[in-house]
């Protein structure tokens, strides 16, 4: 019983605990026990179901193929096989495909940031005459599911209207269409809309023209939203499959997501799983480092769509 009042004081300083279960209800043993058990069960579920497959992958990546095939749930019955990783990295060329994936991701990020920031800046701060029309056109594209444009985009890439030179096997074919993300622009514009107009007026009086205002004032003030858009741009790039599959026929240019299914047939399981594991390293590490950005951004996107 002595522990009880101590815990109570702790809880009051517990930032963010929701209000559904109030302090006095929490003190009722049945609630505490019931909810506590539910939480423990949930945690167990999350670890086993959420983390489980990933841990299995990590384990199997360094387990000899034969062991994975015969006793998949055993833990290193005959020792480790670090060789899987090096084989995957070198012979299966995961290093090359990882580099491609990263190059594509960086390019995607750059193009998306440039388009979203300049476009949102123009629409929010500079306010051109046809701004509302452009916004409306942007919003309608939000309702068009991206995958459905694959066909006309593909035909366009293979045979562009004015240029008549195919862009197949060219990273621009990936970067440019991805930059046409109305979601990014709307997110940025909303952020810019919420910046205090007085600051822009002060800058005007200080003598800042539109370019100076953009680079010296607006962009530095936008770090939070730039972070969120960047994280999602890079993540989406890593996850992209169908479009790169269509436009990048040259294996040397393909990212991991496209290449992995193609080598599944003729790669030993252990090595293949090692390749899969290596592919996950960047997204997972990135997620753990930038957790707050991921989670805040997802929440934001939910609010936006509502």
Partner 1 sequence: MAAIRFDGVTKIYGDGTLAVDALDLAIEEGEFMVFVGPSGCGKTTALRMVAGLEQITGGTILIGERPVNHVSPKDRDIAMVFQNYALYPHMTVAQNLAFGLKLKKISKAEIARRVRDAAAVLDLEQHLQRKPKALSGGQRQRVALGRAIVREPAAFLMDEPLSNLDAALRVQTRGEILKLQKRLGTTTIYVTHDQVEAMTMGDRIAVMCEGRLLQLGTPEQLYTRPANTFVATFIGSPAMNVIPAPVLKLGSDASLVGFRPEHIRVGSAQNGSVGFEAGVEVVEYLGDEKLAHLRLGELSLVAKLPVAERVEPGTAAAFAVSREALLFFAADTGFLADPPA
Partner 2 sequence: MTWVKQGGLSKLLFLLPLLFVFGAFSWYPIVRLVLMSLQFTNLVQPAKWVGLANFSEVIHDPLFPIAVRNTAEFAGLALLFGYPVPLIMAVLISEVRRWRGLYSVLAYLPVVIPPVVSVLLWKTFYDAASNGVFNTILGWVGIGPQQWIQSQAQAMPSLVLESTWANAGSTVIIYLAALTGVNRELYEAASADGAGLWKKLWHVTLPQLRTVLLVTMILQIIGTAQVFIEPWLFTQGGPANSTLTVMLLIYDYAFGNSLGAAYGEAAALSLMLVAFLTMFSLIYLRATRSWSTQ
80 binds partner 2 (CB under 8 A): no
Cα 65 from Cα 69, distance rounded (Å): 6
The C-alpha angle 186, 191, 194, rounded to 5 degrees, equals 125
Rule CB under 8 A: is residue 284 a binding residue for partner 2?
A: yes
Query: What x-and-dash track marks residues 87-116 binding partner 1 by CB under 8 A?
Result: ------------------------------
Query: Considering beta carbons, is residue 167 or 200 the nearer one to partner 1?
Result: 200
Nearer to partner 1, 104 or 217 (CB): 217
Nearer to partner 2, 2 or 163 (CB): 163
Calculate the CA dihedral of residues 182, 184, 185, 187 and round it to 10 degrees.
120
Which of 47, 80, 199, 289 lies at the binding interface for partner 2 (CB under 8 A)? 47
Cα 130 from Cα 124, distance rounded (Å): 12
How far is Cα 298 from Cα 280, in angstroms, rounded to an integer?
20
Q: How far is the CB of 194 from partner 1 (least distance, A)?
A: 13
Stretch that binds partner 2, among 82-90, 102-110, 220-228, 271-279 (CB under 8 A): 271-279
Q: Which of residues 169-198 bind partner 2 (CB under 8 A)?
A: 176-177, 179-180, 182, 185
**CB of 235 within 8 A of CB of 145?**
no
Q: Which is nearer to partner 1, 149 or 203 (CB)?
A: 203
Which of 68, 222 has the CB closer to partner 1? 222
- Give yes or no for residue 256 binding partner 2 (CB under 8 A): yes
Which residues in the 180-239 window bind partner 1 by CB under 8 A?
196, 198-199, 201-208, 212, 216-217, 220-221, 223
Please give the Cα distance from 305 to 194 (Å, whole number): 18
- Minimum distance from residue 219 beta carbon to partner 1 (Å): 9
Which residue, among 108, 295, 113, has the nearest Cα to 219 in the 3D structure?
113
Q: Which does 151 bind (CB under 5 to 8 A by kind): partner 1, partner 2, none?
A: partner 2
Give the interface segment with partner 2, choosing from 18-26, 81-89, 192-200, 219-227 (CB under 8 A): 18-26
- Cβ-contact 11, 23 below 8 angstroms: yes
- Interaction residues for partner 2, span 84-123 (CB under 8 A): 111, 114-115, 118-119, 121-123
CB distance 29 to 44 below 8 Å: no
Distances (CA, A) of 50 to 46, 232, 276: 5, 21, 17
Residues 8 and 27: beta-carbon distance below 8 Å? yes
- List 269, 270, 274, 293, residue binding partner 2 (CB under 8 A): 269
Tokens found for residue 169: 């096997």
Q: Which of 59, 229, 279, 293 binds partner 2 (CB under 8 A)?
A: 279
d(C-alpha 64, C-alpha 271), whole Å: 9
At 43, phi and psi to the nearest 5? -60, -45
Instruction: Give the footprint of partner 1 on this chain (CB under 8 A).
Output: 196, 198-199, 201-208, 212, 216-217, 220-221, 223
């Amino acid at each position: 019983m002595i522990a009880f009042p101590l815990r109570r004081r702790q809880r009051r300083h517990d930032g963010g605990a929701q209000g559904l279960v109030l302090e006095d209800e929490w003190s009722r043993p049945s609630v505490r026990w019931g909810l506590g058990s539910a939480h423990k069960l949930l945690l167990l579920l999350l670890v086993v179901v959420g983390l489980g497959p990933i841990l299995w992958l990590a384990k199997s990546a360094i387990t000899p193929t034969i062991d994975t095939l015969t006793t998949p749930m055993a833990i290193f019955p005959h020792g480790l096989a670090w060789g899987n990783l090096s084989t995957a990295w070198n012979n299966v060329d995961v290093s090359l495909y990882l580099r491609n994936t990263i190059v594509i991701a960086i390019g995607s990020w750059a193009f998306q940031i440039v388009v979203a920031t300049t476009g949102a800046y123009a629409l929010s701060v500079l306010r051109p005459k046809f701004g509302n029309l452009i916004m409306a056109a942007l919003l309608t594209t939000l309702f068009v599911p991206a995958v459905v444009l694959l066909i006309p985009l593909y035909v366009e890439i293979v045979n562009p209207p004015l240029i008549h030179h195919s862009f197949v096997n060219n990273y621009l074919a990936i970067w440019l269409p991805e930059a046409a993300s109305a979601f990014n622009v709307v997110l940025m514009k909303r952020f810019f809309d919420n910046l205090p107009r007085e600051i822009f007026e002060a800058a005007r009086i200080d003598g800042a023209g539109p370019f100076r205002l953009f680079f010296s004032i607006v962009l530095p003030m936008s770090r939070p939203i730039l972070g969120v858009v960047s994280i999602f741009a890079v993540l989406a790039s890593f996850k992209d499959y169908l479009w790169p599959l269509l436009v990048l026929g040259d294996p040397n240019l393909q990212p991991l997501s496209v290449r992995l299914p193609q080598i599944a047939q003729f790669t030993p399981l252990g090595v293949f799983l090692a390749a899969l594991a290596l592919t996950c390293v960047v997204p997972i590490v990135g997620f753990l480092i930038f957790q707050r950005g991921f989670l805040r951004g997802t929440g934001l996107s939910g609010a936006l769509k509502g």
